[in-house]
Every structure is written in structure tokens, then in C-alpha cells.
Structure 1
């Protein structure tokens, strides 16, 4: 079985000591972690096929909001002279979808401009094939890659999309790698975000001064963007905290049931009304299974479909379920989970209807 900690150390060693001319390696690894978490194989030692177009979609989603101006500046995500194929493809889709500088979701943009979305995926897939995927496993000074994550022998700068399609248009994570990445998600993702912020600061001289939250801009922690769901949620579910039923003021928080720091899913199925006390106490803690059961109940999801139509905001139920399965399967038996203000309970997946239904 692949040792998650040893694999994590190896990945970080390559990223810390290798050459990072752009943030693309970080984005690629984050996308691999997300895919592993949401598509966890049945056995811990099983390999996992990762379609390159699916990986390209996840990379596009990471840059989708990042390419908007920050403090009046466009943030460089690569050193001078490096290619900007991924950034250019993202910007082109935003322009065709008339996204401007708004927080328009990628899901809605792809529906507005399906042909442009398909073109963006193709361009990003080609960029991944040529650079970050074949370079992600190479230590500085090494004459060749050490493919401990996946076989990259058919990837590289001179490779065409057609030749990669002949290999199934996918990479295959080696046995045990997907499970290890999923289990390390809570540790690796914050580390990758820190590296990403450091790289962006290094590539943008104006960020050396005291500026507002650049990490928030890069990774979507702009809570005001979630305010649009507050009114419809209160009309549908009542002005009460999802966790403790306390009556809510006008400006109450919107909480991610599965922590944003772990999965970053803004779909309606992962969003609930919360009071400040519960929101602050829960923070990034893993919720008890009973809370996930309530969030994914058929009654609630049926109501969310109407809100999704009203706001043109995706529910992402399937993604939330897949992420939850990946998260909880990677937890040690009996791990504490947050069950309410100042309360916790040991993890027990025995009686979860959504869990059983998805096995």
C-alpha cells in the first residue's frame, strides 16, 4: 500500500526544490487531488484513470476567478518569458461568455458559450500535456523523470493531442496514489495554496507592499459572493441556522457544510444558512455524518433545484456526494466530527442513507 505521508513528502520536495516558472504545476496537482477525492477507487491499492479533459476542467475552474483584475492589476501567474496558454484560454472563455469581472460561475459560462468552453478545455488539455504533467515528477538536476504518480512517457512538449488520445486521453494514477492523495487533501491543499500565494507575490512586484487579501482573491474566499443565496434560502427554509435553528439576523454567514478549505465546492448542495456562533465554532472542522445527511436530503435538494433555476447557480449534488464519500472513507475509525456548537461525536458511517446508496 502506498504510504500517504511518504508520497506527500515526495510531492512537496519536488515542488519546493524544483523550478516553478508558473503556478501551473500547483494547479495540476490540486486538480489531481480533487479528482482523487471525488473519484476514490473501490480499493485503497487500486489505480485511478484520470481523463485529461476532466483534469483540464478542474484547472480551468481554479483559474476562472483568478484571472479577474486584483486591485486594478492583472496578476501574472508566470515569470516573464513563460508561456501563458492556460491563462489565455481562461480569459478567452470569460470574454466569449461575457463574464467581465463578475463572479459568474464556470458552469453558467460553459452553458452560455459551449463551443468556446470546449475550445478552452482543448487548449488547456494540450498545455497540460506539454508542460506541467511531464514536469511534475522531475527533481531539479535529474536527467529523467521518476514517474511515481503516473506514467508520463507519452507526454511532452512535442506531443500532439491525437497521440495522447491514442493512449486513452488519460493518465493513470499508480496503485494506491489516488487514495494517498485523497487522504492528504486536508494537508496538501493548504500547503499548495501557500506556495501559490508566494509565487504570485514573487511574480507581481506591487504585491510586496501591504495589500488586501490576495489569497482570498486567488482561492475564492470572497464571502460577499455567497450573499446572493441568503434571501432565497431564508424564503425557502426560513431565517434559521441550519445547525442550531437560532433565528438569523439580516447579514448572517453562509456556511460550507463540507469545509471550503478541503473541497472548495460552492454548489448549493454544500451551502447552508448559519449563525455566527455555529459558523465560527465549526470553522474548517469535518461535520458529523448526520449533518451531511440533512444537507443532502431529498426534500432539501428538491427545494434547491428551484433556487438553482432562480439564481442560475448549480446545486452540484453529485460532486458533494462524491467528495463526502472520498473524505469520510479516508478518515480513521472513530475520528471526532463537529456535531454542533461545542459538541462533537465519533465518526459513524453505518446509518448514512446517501453513503449506502452510493457504494
Structure 2
């Protein structure tokens, strides 16, 4: 029997209660939960009652991916992510990987660093895996004031005696309990914005210079700056023509680059999730879930063309992740949910799941 009685909303309430009642001295719990949600979306089991095994190094990669953008200086200052510790373990590991990969403060995806310095990346993953096993995974299910965990997400008994060996932790996995992966994937659109709000509040509290008037802390933390995507624009125009992906209107200089699967939901920056858009469609779509035919159109683009662009500009395609995320997102949607199908247009989702994506 499932600990959450099969109710995704009850699962969501328990997640929020853990975060609201417990003391957060670092952003690690928030990062771990976001990573669990992202992994669940991209690996959602076909059967809602199935468990989901998550190797700790795979979770460490997703946590590193979240901090990858956050560790860049904000208004010339390094943001502390842990009370009294500006160079905490995970952010410090991300900065070190950036330095070794020589990517500076750019927004290039972490895949670029992995391809440049694979051994340094493996060392960083070992370090983060140890950190996750030693703290957030042990404490994530503990309500404030309680000395014991309430293991409703995964069994954490093996983590209560953390190993000091990276080799041992490398072999560890956590197993999400029956229904949890489905619940997290289904609630992603609600839980992730709530986690972001908590994260911004925590970072403001940990960095005294971030007074209320400091602009767009959330944009910096969660990678919503658009400037970094400009390098995609001209290669896409050369390959696909200077037209809006959604409405086919001719595009002017400086048109937007859009994430088809919303960045706020899955955070995939690869070329396979990016398209040219006009300002009107880009603004109207915003963070809405696109209609299924739009995803079909997105995935019908020639993978070879995307790979050629990736090679030329040093930017990953991440097509496998886009497919996995699309499968997870749409599998979780209830029938009849509105999806964005074009400027000022919506379409109710009423389909059998499209197996061609898999």
C-alpha cells in the first residue's frame, strides 16, 4: 500500500510541510527535491504504482545542473547558498568545474564542460554524491522538531550511517516508493514554482546585500536570461529559415528563442527544445504547455541538422532528454487540460498517449 494513499495532492502537501516546518540552513534540500522531480518527469514509470530507482550519482548530476547557473556572480558578488558558508560544498564544486572547463560565467550547458574535462566532472559528481548522502537525503523527510525521518518518498535507512567512501556511495541508489514518481511528475507544475519561491527567499536571507529592491534574483538563480541563447539564432535561421516556428511569420533581427517544453517545467536548454519565435507568439505562449501537434512538429525536425549546428556552435542537442520529458509530461496530464496551440488559441488535451515519441 502506498504511504500517500495514491493521492498526488497528499504527496505534495507532505513535501511542502517538510520544507515549511524544517530548518533550512542551505538550499540543498530544495535542490534535491527539484532533482527528484526532474528525474521523475524524464523517467516516469508506465504503471503509476511502480517504484523508481535513482542512482545517487544520477541525482548528483541533476543537482549540479541546477547550481551550474546559480554559481555565476550576481551583480559582481558570489551568492551564498548556505548560512555562514559562501563556499559551500556543492556550489564550490560547480565553480571548480566551471574553472577547469574554462567556461567563465557563460550560460553554456553543463554538457560542454563534461565534454571538455570528463575526469574533473567525475570527481565533482563523486563529491556531490557524498554530500547528498551525508546531508539532504538523510534529512529531507524529517519534519521540524522530529529526531526521526518519515520516509514517505524513499527508504532512507541505509543513509542514516553515511559512507565516507565515494566508491561506495557511487553504487548507492534510492528507490522512490510506489506512486511517488508519478505523483512528483504530475505535481511538477505546482511544486517547482513553490520550491523556487522558497529558494529565492532563502538566498535573500543568506545574502544581506539582496534587499527587496535588488532586481531579478529569481531570473539569475533559475536561468531565465535570454541573452545566452542568441548564439542559436543565426544558425537556426540558416537551417530552418527566418520564420516563427509557431505561426511562420517572417522574423526580424533579434527575435526571441523559445523553449518549447517550458524552461520553468523541465529546464532543458538543448537545441532539440529550442525554436525561433516571433515576439507575439513567444509572449502569448509564455510558460504554457504546448499542444501535442507542436511537440510532433518539434520532434520531426531533422536530428542530423541539429547535430551539425551543435557541432558548429558547441551546444548540445539533448534530444533524448526532450523526448523523455515530453513522454513524462504528457503522460501525467489529465484529459481535457488546455494546451497552447497558437496565438490566443488553446486546445483541450484529449488523446491517447502518442507512442511515436517513445
Q: 2:306 aligns with which of 304, 307, 332?
A: 304
Is this contact kept in 2: 1:4–1:181, CA < 8 A?
Answer: yes
Is this contact kept in 1: 2:30–2:195, CA < 8 A?
Answer: yes
Q: Distance in 2 between matches of 1:15 and 1:43?
A: 28
After superposition, residues 1-359 of structure 1 pair within 5 angstroms as 2-80=6-84, 84-156=88-160, 158-161=162-165, 162-164=167-169, 168-297=171-300, 299-350=301-352, 352=354, 355-356=355-356, 358=358
Deviation at 1:267, TM superposition (A): 0.7
Q: Distance in 2 between matches of 1:211 and 1:257?
A: 30
Deviation at 1:348, TM superposition (A): 4.0
- Structure 1 residues 279, 357: closer, same or farther in 2, change over 3 A? closer
Is this contact kept in 1: 2:133–2:162, CA < 8 A?
Answer: no
Q: Distance in 1 between matches of 2:143 and 2:174?
A: 20
Instruction: Spell out, residue by residue over 1:207-226, the C-alpha distance to the aligned partner (whole angstroms, 9 max, x if none).
Output: 01512211111000011111
Instruction: Spell out, residue by residue over 1:37-89, the C-alpha distance to the aligned partner (whole angstroms, 9 max, x if none).
Output: 00001200110001110000000000111111110100000001598211221
Is this contact kept in 2: 1:53–1:125, CA < 8 A?
Answer: yes
Q: Helix, strand or coil for the counterpart of 1:208?
A: coil
Is this contact kept in 1: 2:106–2:228, CA < 8 A?
Answer: no
Instruction: Spell out, residue by residue over 1:152-202, the C-alpha distance to the aligned partner (whole angstroms, 9 max, x if none).
Output: 11114642345545xx52000000000000000000000000100000000
- Structure 1 residues 135, 51: closer, same or farther in 2, change over 3 A? same
Q: Distance in 2 between matches of 1:48 and 1:100?
A: 36
Instruction: Spell out, residue by residue over 1:233-280, the C-alpha distance to the aligned partner (whole angstroms, 9 max, x if none).
Output: 111111100011001110111111111111111111111111111111
Structure-2-length-normalised TM-score:
0.95
Instruction: Spell out, residue by residue over 1:5-25, the C-alpha distance to the aligned partner (whole angstroms, 9 max, x if none).
Output: 111011101111101000000
- Structure 1 residues 253, 144: closer, same or farther in 2, change over 3 A? same
Q: Note the residue ranges of structure 2 that are not aligned, 5 or more in a row.
A: none
Is this contact kept in 2: 1:129–1:157, CA < 8 A?
Answer: no
Q: Distance in 2 between matches of 1:320 and 1:158?
A: 34
Q: Distance in 2 between matches of 1:243 and 1:82?
A: 43
Is this contact kept in 2: 1:56–1:124, CA < 8 A?
Answer: yes
Is this contact kept in 2: 1:155–1:164, CA < 8 A?
Answer: no
Q: Note the residue ranges of structure 1 that are not aligned, 5 or more in a row.
A: none
Q: Distance in 2 between matches of 1:83 and 1:6?
A: 36
- Structure 1 residues 324, 19: closer, same or farther in 2, change over 3 A? same
Instruction: Spell out, residue by residue over 1:295-319, the C-alpha distance to the aligned partner (whole angstroms, 9 max, x if none).
Output: 011x432221111111111111110
Q: Distance in 2 between matches of 1:100 and 1:336?
A: 41
Q: Helix, strand or coil for the counterpart of 1:240?
A: coil
